[in-house]
């Protein structure tokens, strides 16, 4: 067990979790749901959402499935390659770990030492040094059934303290290339007219140099799950309209104008564009972005998975993304039960899903207004745990999801004014900004995380029964 001590706030609502657990086992006969209140923003009205939990599943019984150091199941083995990869078997997608065992990645984003004034003070009091923090943090993650970390993590420290905790690296290809021409936004970078700079003459050479100088050092690390390219780029449909709004001297404008004229003549205007034209330009932009980054990485690292840009909201040209990634990553907000949306995306891309961001914010977190960020607001930490189970059960039942990364490790520090607008004054963490765990949330997380493989089997068996009964 970790030495990170429970917060007084967490302890004060532990009783409500116990009541919720008792209610779930006594009142949910069969695969029923309870209702949990939630709202997108604190000032809005509460609405109730049907919510499943592990305890509510009809006929489910946990099975004891042995796991290895990666948190993978040891009862099914595929070809070991020394690195993570994906397969689809019997209708379900799986990650395969370096030793060849089937794996579902349960991760936490931004596992690192807080930089805000309150966080720094608490860190000195609780740990004193990075090594102690890393050891206790790895113990916390493992004790609660997490198998890896997500983007923006202190990877070197965590890896030194662990054996088998997987990690991902976000190389921010476009974000780094575009510095000086972008502005900080809420959770992501804002580009001129929402146009990424794939038509700049230096783009391809930059990607090749960045991969050559940075990625080769990781090519033989078995704990590395894969590479993110960037975060939340503006890859929404109908990109040519935005490119045609750029200055005439911009390479992006010139590329869009040339595309238009090649299709419809030198006197053509935007009104001449058909939907097929607009789709083709979207494909061109995506090819120049995803394809260029993927080829640059593959030249120096043939081993690790390509996870692509961490997509969000409406995007485009999914079939182009599918040509290059091994799994696609999506920051999935705005839905209580995600399987329907996730399945549509997976079908369009043709690859399995890793949800790389999602969370809820408890209105009982002391000193946090919860006005920032995209996650749902719920009344209590216990409700955050109920959401976690409902969300992950839906993903498991879909058969297309091979992992999820909760956003994030630690609450925002409201005294830190250097963060972007999406990371101010909100309860997103599994710990508060004093490094104290939210026990009601983590209890529910642990319950699901430690049973993830028997839950997958349960859904597969139920699906088979439903098919044979038709």
CA distances from 272 to 164, 262, 340 (A): 56, 12, 36
pLDDT of 251-308, one tens digit each? 999 999 999 999 999 999 999 999 999 999 999 999 999 999 999 999 999 999 999 9
Between vectors from CA 316 to CA 310 and to CA 319, what angle results, nearest 5°? 90
Q: Is residue 271 part of a domain?
A: yes
pLDDT classification of 31: cutoffs 50, 70, 90:
low
Are residue 463 and residue 384 in the same domain, yes or no?
yes
Percent of the chain with pLDDT over 70: 93
Are residue 146 and residue 206 in the same domain, yes or no?
no
Cα atoms found within 13 Å of the Cα of residue 131, Cβ hemisphere only: 0
Q: Is residue 251 part of a domain?
A: yes
Please state the three-class secondary structure of 148-201 as a single string.
EECCCCCHHHHHHCCCCCEEEEECCHHHHHCCCCCEECCCCEECHHHCCCCCCC
Are residue 154 and residue 210 in the same domain, yes or no?
no
Are residue 161 and residue 194 in the same domain, yes or no?
no
Mean confidence (pLDDT) of the chain? 92
Are residue 114 and residue 208 in the same domain, yes or no?
no
Q: CATH number of the domain at 396, please.
A: 3.20.20.80
> What pLDDT is recorded for position 10?
38
pLDDT classification of 177: cutoffs 50, 70, 90:
very high
pLDDT at residue 375 greater than cutoff 90: yes
Alpha carbon distance 371, 108 (integer Å):
22
Are residue 262 and residue 394 in the same domain, yes or no?
no
- Cα dihedral sign for 10, 12, 13, 17? positive
Cα–Cα nearest to 364, from 334, 388, 385: 385
Domain boundary among 291, 326, 361: 326
Q: How many domains in the chain?
A: 2
Q: Which domain holds residue 262?
A: 178-221+230-300+310-326
Higher pLDDT: 5 or 130? It is 130
Are residue 315 and residue 383 in the same domain, yes or no?
no
Are residue 72 and residue 113 in the same domain, yes or no?
yes
> What pLDDT is recorded for position 4?
46
Q: Is residue 170 part of a domain?
A: no
pLDDT of 122-167, one tens digit each? 999 999 999 999 999 999 999 999 999 999 999 999 999 999 999 9
Contact 70, 99 (CB under 8 A): yes
Q: Is residue 172 part of a domain?
A: no
Are residue 383 and residue 464 in the same domain, yes or no?
yes
Contact 436, 384 (CB under 8 A): no
Higher pLDDT: 128 or 9? It is 128
> What pLDDT is recorded for position 186?
65
Q: Is residue 305 part of a domain?
A: no
The β-bridge partners of 106 are 404
Are residue 20 and residue 152 in the same domain, yes or no?
yes
Alpha carbon distance 466, 470 (integer Å):
7
- For the record, the structure tokens of 260 come out as 């238009």
Are residue 262 and residue 120 in the same domain, yes or no?
no
Are residue 384 and residue 409 in the same domain, yes or no?
yes
Q: Is residue 265 part of a domain?
A: yes
> What pLDDT is recorded for position 33?
83
Q: Is residue 185 part of a domain?
A: yes
Q: Is residue 401 part of a domain?
A: yes
């Amino acid at each position: 067990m970790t030495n990170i001590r429970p917060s007084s706030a967490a302890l004060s609502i532990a009783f409500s979790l116990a009541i919720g657990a008792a209610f779930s086992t006594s009142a949910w006969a069969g695969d029923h749901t309870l209702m949990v209140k939630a709202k997108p923003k604190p000032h809005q009205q509460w609405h109730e959402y049907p919510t499943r939990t592990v305890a509510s599943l009809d006929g489910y019984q946990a099975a004891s499935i042995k796991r290895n150091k990666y948190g993978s199941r040891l009862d099914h083995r595929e070809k070991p390659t020394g690195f993570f990869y994906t397969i689809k078997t019997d209708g379900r997608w799986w990650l395969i770990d370096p030793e060849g065992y089937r794996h579902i990645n349960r991760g936490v984003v931004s596992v690192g030492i807080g930089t805000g004034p309150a966080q720094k003070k608490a860190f000195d009091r609780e740990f004193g040094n990075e090594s102690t923090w890393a050891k206790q943090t790895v113990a916390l993650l493992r004790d609660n059934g997490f198998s890896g970390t997500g983007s923006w993590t202190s990877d070197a420290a965590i890896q030194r303290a662990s054996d088998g905790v997987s990690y991902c690296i976000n190389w921010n290809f476009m974000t780094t290339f575009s510095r000086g021409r972008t502005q900080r936004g809420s959770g992501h970078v804002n580009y001129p007219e929402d146009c990424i700079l794939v038509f700049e003459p230096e783009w391809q050479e930059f990607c090749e140099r960045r991969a050559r100088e940075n990625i080769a050092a990781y090519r033989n690390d078995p704990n590395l799950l894969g590479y993110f390219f960037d975060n939340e780029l503006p890859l929404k449909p109908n990109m040519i309209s935005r490119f045609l709004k750029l200055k005439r001297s911009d390479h992006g404008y010139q590329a869009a104008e040339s595309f238009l004229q090649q299709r419809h003549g030198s006197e053509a205007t935007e009104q001449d564009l058909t939907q097929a034209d607009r789709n083709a330009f979207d494909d061109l932009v995506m090819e120049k972005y995803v394809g260029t980054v993927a080829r640059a990485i593959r030249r120096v690292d043939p081993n690790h998975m390509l996870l692509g840009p961490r997509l969000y909201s409406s995007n485009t040209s999914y079939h182009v993304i599918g040509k290059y990634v091994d799994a696609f990553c999506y920051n999935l907000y705005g839905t209580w039960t995600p399987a329907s949306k996730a399945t549509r995306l997976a079908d369009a891309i043709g690859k399995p899903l890793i949800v790389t961001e999602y969370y809820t914010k408890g209105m009982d977190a002391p000193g946090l207004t919860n006005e920032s960020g995209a996650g749902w607001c719920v009344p209590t930490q216990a409700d955050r745990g109920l959401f976690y189970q409902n969300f992950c059960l839906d993903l498991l039942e879909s058969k297309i999801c091979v992992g999820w990364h909760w956003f994030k490790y630690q609450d925002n520090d409201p005294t830190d004014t250097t963060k972007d607008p999406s990371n101010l004054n909100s309860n997103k963490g599994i710990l508060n900004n004093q490094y104290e765990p939210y026990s009601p949330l983590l209890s529910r997380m642990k319950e699901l995380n430690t049973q993830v493989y028997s839950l997958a089997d349960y859904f597969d068996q139920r699906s088979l029964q439903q098919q044979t009964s038709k």
